[in-house]
A = this chain, B = another copy of it.
Amino acid sequence: MTTDALVLDAAAQDLLFREARTANTFTDEPVTEEQVQAIYDLVKYGPTAFNQQPLRVVLVRSAEARERLVQHMADGNKAKTSTAPLVAILAADNEFHEELPTQLPHFPQAKDMFFSERPVREQSATLNGALQAAYFIIGVRAAGLAAGPMTGYDAAGLNKEFFGDGEHSVLAVVNIGKPGEDAWFPRSPRLAYDEVVTTV
């Protein structure tokens, strides 16, 4: 561990990365609106291209909505998605470019210069929405909660069920709460530095 090269304190490193784990079971302690607001107020500052902000978050709180969600999840994800204190659907808004003139005030013409074509917008919304999804997961951990991100679901079904406008693409579904009993598998390996990083 070469943590001397980092400025971030060791407790924060542990909270966000080293000790944090993807939880598969949760206690029944609720996740409050105040916690989600604090998470968003922190992670909204994460950087994206052209300050685009395609991420949309649907908090599934009612029993009726939970049922509608669970039916589209893969079998292996149904139980935990049914029992997590809070489930968030993270999606990309492929029409994010409409907001660029107000969100990028020093370069409002970016909207028409770069994003007039839907396939380009969609690709950009997916990439930058995924960056924002990662910031959100880090934010959940910053609130002392465990995140259980999943991509095992019927994406077309979820898009239609929760958006239905053809303009949103689900990126991930995230179970959120305090970890419960036997919350995780043993940690899986990670690639070595030399397998990932090369110098030219």
Contacts and interface: CB of A to CB of B under 8 A. Distances in A.
A164 to B, nearest CB: 12
B45 A190 contact: yes
A149 interface: yes
A190 B53 contact: yes
Chain A contact-residue range equals 35 or more
B200 A3 contact: no
A13 B137 CA distance: 14
A103 to B, nearest CB: 6
Given A9-B9, A17-B45, A53-B196, 16 more contacts: A3-B42, A6-B143, A6-B144, A8-B15, A8-B142, A9-B12, A17-B43, A44-B196, A45-B187, A46-B134, A56-B196, A58-B200, A106-B188, A131-B134, A134-B134, A135-B138
